């Protein structure tokens, strides 16, 4: 019987050690295993550990995998709350159990000694080999190794593992992710004969003189061992002083950094084997309240990364990891926090090579205890200390040789307690050359970095100025004020957003103490599902019948579950550009400010182009002097650039990779800037006298248009069915609209406020409609059921017989709430109008506090391309700063309509706001043969209130009088 209520660590496993290529034989035990699923431990079969147990009728299950993805049980998503009663160390009787059996063949090379390694079992495992109990595992995302020497035999061996989904250890893994059980990482047999090296710890430092230092800890010490770095011509025996831990001088080296990840192969030779590992020479310190690498302050352009695959769960192929990291590099990201557990070892290997700063986080979070005022929290409970120290030790020992790891994190959102202090104390004693991070104890008594989450920019600025509220203890307060500051989570990237990225980055650039942040989060955790007719969509919490779940809060990433960048990632790339480029208004000079920490600009090429409505006019390359990190250069632009300065032209200058890099080809854009304007003056109507006016039934003909005498709305234009305009103040709530502003505790959700104000139910009542001197005057009062507040809109139509000019003047009454989501005018067109071309910002969406990636220019997109397919449908796809919009029935021909104005936004969709607001998943969005166009005169920002501050004041839309003018042709 499994003991699932023991709060201690696993049993029977060996002391943790580093993952190192040691030159000895290995055998992967990944593949198809026999598998049996039970709803509870009481229902699980008995005697499975016996070699003679009959498993022929069992299913087959691939290892590694999460069994939920193979037809057994169901995924469960929670953020803070546990999916079972909070009653540590007990777990429910209804606790799914998976039994695994594998028969495998072993050769003679393993009989002199061998280890069995599990890289990840979620949550509690019991392991037998050839009928003998090896031990138990706890700590789902950390390795466990067992000595199987003497138990292995030549030929067939039988390995058996029983896994329970929940145990006392589950109280340590409440990590804002799907609860996914199983053997989800690799299983490996490793030869380990007598005389083999058990472990190695390589300390590779960098000095101010530009030389490298090397200290090697070998366990056990091996007389006769040698260390070698072939690329440096360095060889030394590991004896005498070296065996006692004295640092050796290896001469001049290229230092490692995320910008220039120089690695050297290091070899350790013993009489029995040769170990190989990559080392990077770097030194991490805290000086002047700054984290410094090799004496240089760092700026983190980071993300939090969970491990997720939409079809495999937490079993993420190496190919995907590599794709993710390359995608990060392509978007100017230089740092990763491994939220909230140790990643698969391959990620750190790739991060060493590609260049990332890693906050390596312990497999620990107890957020669900917060609602009970942290009563019984494992961080403060002595019965959990051994387990927590065990987890920290396994993290550090596994990953200690990776230069990318610059900080150890004790865990996430686990309150306070002496166990955390003990974890920090052990970590600093074992590895004093790296920093210790933990956000949950704001007094920072045992960490090296002051870290917070989701602060509003004003509070971040106070910390940058070292003017934050003091701690009661003066000594602790002084200690904290001398610590560097990071936002380990910020700008929550859920659905449409995040808004306000630039405000944070401006503070990071301004105050040296503020060393950047880590966006929450990198990847959405959608699970791919299909409707009965085969349409794919991504599922979230509650879609699998869970009684306890946190809905779509698991869909909060800068890339989709299948790695498609969201608009927020494109904005982040722009905001964190490592170069600041700016062009003078006369197109004569370019200023280049190098914001890299280490690199000069020699790896970049600079290109320019000038465009107009007819396309690219001319382009070329620029000669920019090599600019050192932190320096600024001014460049006089060639006369051929200045000569192109004219109205309705845009100059774009880009810094691109000059040569291929491991993560992107030559020509990949790193940074850009623009100058100029694509906007043409709004054309005026031609004076052709009074238009033809006729009345027939409930229809008024006015020049080229017809109007409904019942509503005052346009019903056709030049024979094209065109209904509108109709005032709208509503938008389908974004995830941020549905959030609570962390900067204003107790404030209502914006979407709730807008719904309570009746904005989705806004109705118009025609008050008057009259024509005079060739003008059509329409007054409509818009109100909502029950309430007395209203908005009066005076529409003025003029025509020259060909085009129509609309002027709308909006006057709100008192009694509205603090904000509106938009002031827009809805039109309906035949669904054939599915192509849009516009002048303004593009090609992607832009809202008042988002869309930094949008460029000025001339763009075209299909109706489908205009949409952003967020997993939970919501407001999306607005194009802003528009001066001209043309809608056509097909590319390059057919009927068209053109709207010309000044600085308006538009959305175009094949479904209504009502359908968009009601949809829970993308298949709920069904086109109805109508194209729904909204022209926005003003738009409320997006913010990050899904988990963080709401819309900042400059981007809030308050009810107020407003005018809007557009020319229709």
Active site residues: 413, 489
Per-residue tokens: 402: 């990776």
Determine the Cα–Cα distance for residues 208 and 285; give it in Å rounded to an integer. 13
Determine the Cα–Cα distance for residues 708 and 765; give it in Å rounded to an integer. 13
Which residue, among 929, 878, 876, has the nearest Cα to 904 in the 3D structure?
A: 878
CB burial of residue 170 (10 Å; 0-12, 13-18, 19+): buried
Which residue, among 473, 389, 486, 489, has the nearest Cα to 447 in the 3D structure?
A: 486
Answer for the pair 911, 927: CB distance below 8 angstroms, yes or no. Answer: yes
Beta carbons within 8 Å of 522's beta carbon, 6+ residues apart: 303, 304, 305, 306, 324, 328, 336, 557, 558, 559
- The enclosing H or E element of 918 equals helix 913-918
Determine the Cα–Cα distance for residues 115 and 96; give it in Å rounded to an integer. 29
| Cα separation values, 118 from 13, 139, 147, 185, 388, Å | 10, 11, 12, 7, 19
Which residue has 């906007």 as its token pair? Answer: 679
Which residue, among 90, 255, 273, has the nearest Cα to 190 in the 3D structure?
A: 273
Answer for the pair 424, 438: CB distance below 8 angstroms, yes or no. Answer: yes
Kindly state the greatest CA–CA separation across the chain.
Answer: 106
Answer for the pair 323, 230: CB distance below 8 angstroms, yes or no. Answer: no
- The enclosing H or E element of 293 equals strand 290-293
Determine the Cα–Cα distance for residues 52 and 158; give it in Å rounded to an integer. 9
Beta carbons within 8 Å of 244's beta carbon, 6+ residues apart: none
For the four alpha carbons of 795, 848, 525 and 83, in that order, the dihedral sign comes to: negative
For the four alpha carbons of 730, 734, 735 and 739, in that order, the dihedral sign comes to: negative
| Cα separation values, 342 from 137, 361, 362, 410, 808, Å | 15, 6, 6, 11, 58
Beta carbons within 8 Å of 56's beta carbon, 6+ residues apart: none
DSSP codes joined into one string, 749-765: PHHHHHHHTTGGG-EEE
Beta carbons within 8 Å of 745's beta carbon, 6+ residues apart: none
Determine the Cα–Cα distance for residues 723 and 827; give it in Å rounded to an integer. 5
Determine the Cα–Cα distance for residues 87 and 463; give it in Å rounded to an integer. 38
SS (H, E, C) 824-839: EEEEEEECCCCEEEEE
At what angle are helices 457-464 and 501-510 packed, to 10 degrees?
A: 10
| Cα separation values, 347 from 201, 259, 315, 444, Å | 19, 17, 13, 29
Per-residue tokens: 229: 């770095």
- The enclosing H or E element of 82 equals none
- The enclosing H or E element of 553 equals none
Answer for the pair 841, 940: CB distance below 8 angstroms, yes or no. Answer: no
């Amino acid at each position: 019987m499994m003991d699932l209520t023991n709060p201690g660590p696993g049993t029977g496993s060996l002391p943790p050690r580093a993952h190192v290529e040691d030159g000895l034989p290995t055998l992967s035990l990944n593949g198809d295993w026999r598998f049996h699923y039970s709803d509870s431990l009481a229902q699980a079969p008995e005697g499975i550990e016996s070699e003679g147990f009959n498993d022929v009728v069992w299913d087959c299950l691939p290892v590694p995998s999460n069994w939920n993805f193979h037809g057994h049980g169901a995924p469960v998503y929670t953020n803070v709350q546990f999916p079972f009663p909070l009653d540590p160390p007990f777990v429910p009787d209804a606790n799914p159990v998976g039994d695994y059996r594998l028969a495998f063949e072993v050769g003679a090379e393993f009989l002199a000694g061998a280890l069995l390694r599990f890289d990840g079992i979620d949550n509690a495992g019991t392991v037998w080999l050839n009928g003998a109990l090896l031990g138990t595992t706890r700590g789902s995302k950390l390795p466990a190794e067992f000595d199987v020497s003497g138990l292995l035999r030549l030929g067939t061996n039988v390995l058996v593992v029983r896994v329970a989904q929940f145990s006392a250890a589950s109280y340590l893994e409440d990590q804002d992710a799907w609860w996914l059980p199983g053997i989800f990482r690799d299983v490996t047999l490793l030869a380990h004969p007598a005389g083999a090296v058990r472990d190695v710890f390589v300390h590779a430092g960098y000095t101010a003189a530009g030389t490298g230092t090397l200290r090697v800890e070998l366990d056990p010490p091996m007389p006769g061992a040698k260390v070698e770095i072939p690329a440096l011509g360095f060889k030394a025996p590991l004896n005498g002083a070296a065996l006692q831990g004295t640092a050796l001088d290896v001469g001049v080296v290229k230092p490692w950094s995320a910008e220039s990840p120089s690695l050297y192969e290091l070899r350790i030779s013993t009489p029995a084997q040769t170990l190989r590992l990559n080392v990077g020479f770097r030194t991490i310190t805290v000086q002047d309240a700054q984290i410094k690498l090799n004496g240089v302050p760092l700026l983190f352009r980071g993300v939090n990364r969970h491990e997720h695959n939409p079809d495999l769960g937490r079993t993420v192929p190496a190919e995907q990891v590599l794709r993710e990291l390359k995608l990060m590099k392509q978007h100017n990201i230089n740092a990763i926090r491994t939220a909230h557990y140790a990643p698969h070892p391959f990620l750190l290997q790739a991060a060493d090579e590609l260049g990332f700063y890693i906050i390596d986080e312990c497999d620990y979070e107890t957020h669900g205890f917060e609602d009970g005022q942290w009563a019984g929290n494992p961080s403060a409970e002595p019965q959990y200390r051994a387990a927590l120290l065990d987890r920290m030790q396994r993290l550090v020992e596994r990953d200690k040789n990776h230069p990318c790891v610059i900080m150890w994190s004790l865990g996430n959102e686990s309150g306070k307690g002496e166990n955390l202090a003990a974890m920090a104390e052990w970590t600093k004693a074992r590895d004093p050359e790296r920093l210790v991070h933990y956000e949950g104890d704001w007094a920072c008594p045992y960490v090296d970095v002051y870290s917070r989450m989701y602060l509003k920019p004003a509070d971040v600025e106070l910390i940058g100025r070292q003017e934050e509220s003091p701690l009661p203890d003066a000594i602790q307060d002084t200690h904290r004020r001398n610590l560097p500051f990071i936002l380990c989570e910020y700008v929550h990237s859920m659905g449409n957003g995040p808004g306000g990225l630039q405000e944070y980055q401006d503070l990071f650039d301004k105050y040296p103490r503020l060393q950047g942040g880590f966006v929450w989060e990198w990847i959405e955790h959608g699970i791919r599902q299909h409707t009965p007719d085969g349409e794919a969509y991504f599922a979230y919490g509650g879609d699998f019948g869970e009684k306890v779940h946190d809905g779509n809060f698991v869909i909060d990433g800068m890339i989709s579950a299948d790695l498609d960048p969201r608009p927020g990632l494109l904005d982040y790339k722009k905001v964190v550009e490592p170069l600041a480029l700016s062009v003078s208004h006369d197109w004569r000079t370019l200023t280049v400010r190098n914001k890299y920490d280490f690199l000069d600009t020699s790896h970049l090429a600079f290109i320019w182009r000038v465009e107009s409505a007819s396309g690219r006019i001319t382009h070329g390359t620029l000669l920019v002097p090599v600019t050192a990190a932190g320096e600024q250069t001014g460049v006089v632009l060639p006369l051929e650039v200045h000569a192109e300065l004219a109205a309705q032209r845009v100059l774009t200058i880009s810094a691109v990779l000059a040569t291929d890099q491991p993560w992107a080809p030559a020509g990949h854009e790193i940074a850009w800037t623009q100058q100029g304007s694509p906007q043409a003056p709004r054309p005026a109507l031609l004076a052709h006298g009074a238009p033809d006016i006729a009345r027939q039934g409930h229809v008024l003909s006015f020049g080229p248009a017809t109007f409904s005498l019942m509503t005052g709305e346009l019903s056709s234009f030049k024979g094209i069915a065109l209904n509108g305009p109709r005032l709208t103040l509503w938008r389908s709530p974004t995830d941020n609209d549905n959030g609570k502003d962390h900067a204003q505790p107790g404030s209502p959700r914006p979407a709730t406020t807008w719904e309570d104000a009746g904005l989705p139910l806004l109705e118009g009542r025609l008050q008057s409609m009259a024509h005079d001197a060739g003008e059509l005057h329409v007054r409509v009062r818009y109100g909502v059921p029950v309430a007395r507040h209203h908005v009066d809109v005076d529409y003025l139509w003029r025509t020259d017989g060909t085009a129509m000019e609309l002027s709308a003047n909006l006057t709100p009454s008192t009694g509205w709430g603090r904000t509106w989501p938009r002031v827009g005018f809805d039109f309906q067109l035949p669904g054939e109008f599915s192509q849009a071309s516009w002048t303004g910002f593009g090609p992607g969406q832009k809202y008042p506090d988002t869309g930094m990636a949008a460029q000025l220019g001339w763009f075209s997109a299909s109706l489908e391309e205009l949409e952003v397919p967020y997993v939970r449908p919501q407001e999306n796809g607005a194009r802003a700063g528009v001066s001209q919009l043309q809608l056509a029935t097909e590319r390059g021909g057919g009927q068209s309509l053109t709207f010309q104005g000044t600085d308006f936004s538009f959305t175009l969709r094949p479904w209504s706001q009502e359908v968009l607001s009601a949809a829970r998943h993308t298949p709920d969005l069904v086109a109805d043969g109508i194209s729904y166009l909204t022209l926005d005169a003003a738009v409320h920002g997006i913010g990050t209130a899904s988990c963080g501050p709401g819309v900042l004041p400059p981007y809030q839309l308050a009810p107020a009088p407003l005018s809007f003018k557009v020319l229709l042709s």
